[in-house]
Amino acid sequence: MKDEIEKRVYDEAYNILLTDKTIREIAYDSFVSKSTVHKDLTTRLQILDLDIYEKVNKILKRHMQIRHIRGGESTKKKFEKIKKLYTK
C-alpha cells in the first residue's frame, strides 16, 4: 500500500475516533468520496491496524443503528424551514 494511502487511512481513523463524525463528514473534510472513506475504514484499516479497526468499527456500527433517527431529524428540520417560508 502506498504511503499516502496509509496516511489517509490513519488520518480518517483518528478523525472518527476523536470527533465521532460520520463517513460523509469525514469524506467532506478529507476531500475524497464516501466510498473511499468507507473502503479505507473497513478494508484497508483492518489490514494496517486491527486494534484501531475494532474501535472504528464500533463507531460505524453505532452510526448504522442511529441513522434512521438522524435522517428523521434532518427531514423534520427541512419541513420546519419550508413551513417558516410559507407562513410569513
DSSP codes of every residue in 38-49: HHIIIIIHHHH-
Is residue 8 within 8 Å of residue 16, measured between CB atoms? no
Question: What confidence score (pLDDT) does residue 1 get?
Answer: 75
Determine the distance from the C-alpha atom of residue 62 to the mean position of all C-alpha atoms in its chain, rounded to a whole number.
Answer: 11
Q: What tens digit of pLDDT does each residue of 52-65 get?
A: 999 999 999 999 88
The model carries a pTM of 0.76
| CA pair distance 40, 57, nearest whole angstrom | 12
